[in-house]
Amino acid sequence: MNICCTVLGLYLLAAAAKLWHNVVAFLGLCGLPVPDPELFTKVEIGLTAVSLAGTTLWLVRLLDPPRRGSEEKARRRVLAADLAAVLAILAGLGLLVPALHAAAIGMALHSGLVVWLAIVLVARSGVRPGAFGLPTTWRPRAPRPVSVLITLTALGVFVLESCLAAVLATLPGPQGGQPPAEGWTELVDSARSAPIEELVVTAAAIMLLARAGVRPATCVLISVLMRTVPHIYLGWQALAVLPLGLALAALYLRYRRVMPLIAAHAAWNAMPFLPGWTIAALPVVTLLTIVGTLAALTLVVRGPRADDRPAGIPRLQRESTASQPSQPTP
């Protein structure tokens, strides 16, 4: 129960304001009464402040000297977390350099706090931060071709998810849609979803739950639901996120590397901001679909090998059994 509360709390800290925004959008799609714009903005700002404050307090509680090194280092980490939270709150409220896109600065700082919290939580659960699949040295410990294949596979899944969303948009009933992608704030918002979703919803959630002995299938299911719920404002198109979440969770579960997923997610979100995207959309999407499908088939056919996994990272089953006390032999 404690690990489930930890995962749920981490998720709410990362997505509270976004969930509020999407729920209101979904109510509007269904023709139900929605809060007036002034109340909506106040609640969104309040949820953002609560999320930032909760993230900071959680980090302060986790970064205690006995487990995180010397007292001086722990104090510096706490001060850094407090400063980042204050700057993010001020920027989010438009009270800090409003002429320099305060909302974008606030989102970037908030993203850093949430990602930092996810890494610290996993490290405190007994898993080394390098087990995320994040690069810890300039020289990668895992074969580069495997990372490229995972990235291309994830890109192909994103393309297929977009095609499925277009098909679901033809169904009768309430329909949503993504707002036009333009502006610096929208670009930052699109980019921040990549590390937050893949590190929190995929890597941290799966690793924390697996460390507690939760079955791999249940870990994947929880990760898929955490990814799908914030897209409920899309109406029927939200169902297209289900196979996307399943594929990305399965890729991480099998290869334990999150950087390829972050790279694919960020690249896909950034594509609409490229000049001439409307003209180049069809050939680019077609190419990504073909290459991603071939990469997925390559991964499935050859299967994971021992050298495909970064050194020192055990499989989920080994982690689950290692967390259980060994029975004495008679």
Q: Please list, in sequence order, all residues whose beta carbon lies within 8 angstroms of the beta carbon of residue 177, skipping any fewer than 6 positions away.
A: 169, 234, 237
Q: What is the DSSP letter of 134?
A: -
Is the confidence at residue 317, as pLDDT, over 50? no
Which pLDDT score is estimated for 320? 45
Q: Using one digit for the tens of pLDDT, what is the confidence trace for 251-309? A: 998 888 899 999 999 988 888 877 777 777 778 888 888 888 888 888 888 776 666 66
Domain borders along the chain are 139-310
Please report, for residues 66, 69, 96, 115, 121, the alpha-carbon distance to residue 75 in angstroms, rounded to integers and kept in the order given: 12, 10, 25, 19, 18
Contact yes or no for 327/178 (Cβ under 8 A)? no
Instruction: Determine the Cα–Cα distance for residues 206 and 18; give it in Å rounded to an integer.
Output: 22
7 or 111: whose pLDDT is higher?
Answer: 7
Mean pLDDT for 79-104 is 63
Tell me what the pLDDT averaged over the chain comes to.
78
327 or 237: whose pLDDT is higher?
Answer: 237
| Helix ranges, the chain (H) | 2-29, 37-62, 65-68, 71-92, 102-124, 144-168, 184-196, 205-211, 216-228, 241-255, 259-270, 277-302, 316-322
Which pLDDT score is estimated for 231? 84
Mean pLDDT for 115-132 is 81
Contact yes or no for 218/227 (Cβ under 8 A)? no
Burial of 38 (0-12, 13-18, 19+ CB in 10 A): exposed
